[in-house]
């Protein structure tokens, strides 16, 4: 048997939370000591594991109480479902990370594109520089930027946006076409030459960002026509999936 203090130290769940779980019928102790203190056995700890997994999946407490208290509750089946949900959550988080990396790597520069010049992106760029200013890609970006004059910088911006105009000319076709794939390669080479080393992994993240909606997608569509952002993203997905 373990006391509530020992369970708290073992699991990281606060004593206050354990007491609350008891009060709402979610995790009653196995028994009480002569002094009235809560005592937990292995069965209670296994139930706590289930609770914590459900909490990790953001289930409301009232739903967890209903699930684990049901006479039909199957611990093995629940665990299999939790694993599946956690895998989905993992995939979702990986997609978010990839998306965020794309914003991190290109979003820092996006505020210098006249088509992307909004206060929202300005604020984002400020935060991004504070958080990710020490990444190798950002350092490479700043080094290359320092070698360009303001006039050259503006020309580079125009050239970069013109790539999406070229994507727009291809969007009536298939993103798997040789022309679309060559266009993706051209984009990747341009970023690597003028901004930072653009690996396939980074490029995949950028593709998600292009089709992610908001100002970036809208402004890509402005230069290439409606649907250009989605087409470019689809072509990048094909390219990076090879």
The full set of domains in the chain, from first to last, is 2-73 (1.10.1660.10), 91-240 (no CATH)
Whole-number pLDDT of residue 132: 44
Residue indicated by tokens 């930072």: 196
pLDDT digits (tens, 9 = 90+) for 115-162: 334 344 344 445 444 544 556 777 787 788 888 887 888 788 888 889
- What share of the chain in percent tops pLDDT 70? 83
Whole-number pLDDT of residue 8: 92
How far is Cα of residue 45 from the mean position of the Cα atoms in its chain?
32
Whole-number pLDDT of residue 116: 38
Q: What single-letter DSSP state applies at residue 177?
A: S
Whole-number pLDDT of residue 189: 95
pLDDT higher than threshold 70 for residue 103: no
Least confident of 12-16, 105-109, 175-179, 206-210: 105-109
Structure tokens at 70: 């049901």
Highest mean pLDDT (candidates 54-68, 106-120, 128-142, 168-182): 168-182
Residues 157 and 145 sit within 8 Å (Cβ to Cβ): no
Whole-number pLDDT of residue 111: 38
pTM: 0.48
pLDDT higher than threshold 80 for residue 196: yes
Structure tokens at 29: 């102790």
Whole-number pLDDT of residue 117: 40
| β-sheet bridge partners, residue 38 | 32
Whole-number pLDDT of residue 122: 45
pLDDT digits (tens, 9 = 90+) for 24-55: 999 999 999 888 889 999 999 999 998 998 88
Of 54, 35, 34, 83, residue with least CA distance to 21: 54
Residue-level length of the chain: 242
Q: Where are the alpha helices (DSSP H) in 57-177?
A: 61-69, 75-102, 108-110, 119-132, 136-146, 150-170
Whole-number pLDDT of residue 125: 42
Whole-number pLDDT of residue 39: 93
Structure tokens at 36: 């009235």
Whole-number pLDDT of residue 141: 78
């Amino acid at each position: 048997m373990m006391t509530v203090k020992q369970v708290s130290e073992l699991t990281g769940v606060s004593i206050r939370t354990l007491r609350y779980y008891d009060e709402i019928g979610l995790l009653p102790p196995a028994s009480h000591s002569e002094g009235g203190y809560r005592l937990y056995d292995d069965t209670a700890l296994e139930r706590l594991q289930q609770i914590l997994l459900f909490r990790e999946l953001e289930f409301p407490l009232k739903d967890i109480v209903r699930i684990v208290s049901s006479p039909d509750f199957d611990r093995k089946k629940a665990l299999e479902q939790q694993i599946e949900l956690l895998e989905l959550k993992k995939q979702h988080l990986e997609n978010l990370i990839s998306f965020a990396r794309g914003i991190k790597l290109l979003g820092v520069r996006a505020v210098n594109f006249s088509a992307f010049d909004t206060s929202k992106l300005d604020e984002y760029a400020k935060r991004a520089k504070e958080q990710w200013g020490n990444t190798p890609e950002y350092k490479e970006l700043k080094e290359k930027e320092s070698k360009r004059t303001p006039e050259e910088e503006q020309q580079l911006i125009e050239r970069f946006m013109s790539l999406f105009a070229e994507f727009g000319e291809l969007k009536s076709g298939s993103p798997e076409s040789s022309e679309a794939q060559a266009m993706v390669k051209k984009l990747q080479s341009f970023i690597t030459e003028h901004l930072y080393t653009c690996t396939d992994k980074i490029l995949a993240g950028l593709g998600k960002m292009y089709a992610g909606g908001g100002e970036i997608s809208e402004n890509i569509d402005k230069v290439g026509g409606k649907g250009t952002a989605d087409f470019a993203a689809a072509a990048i997905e094909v390219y990076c999936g090879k």
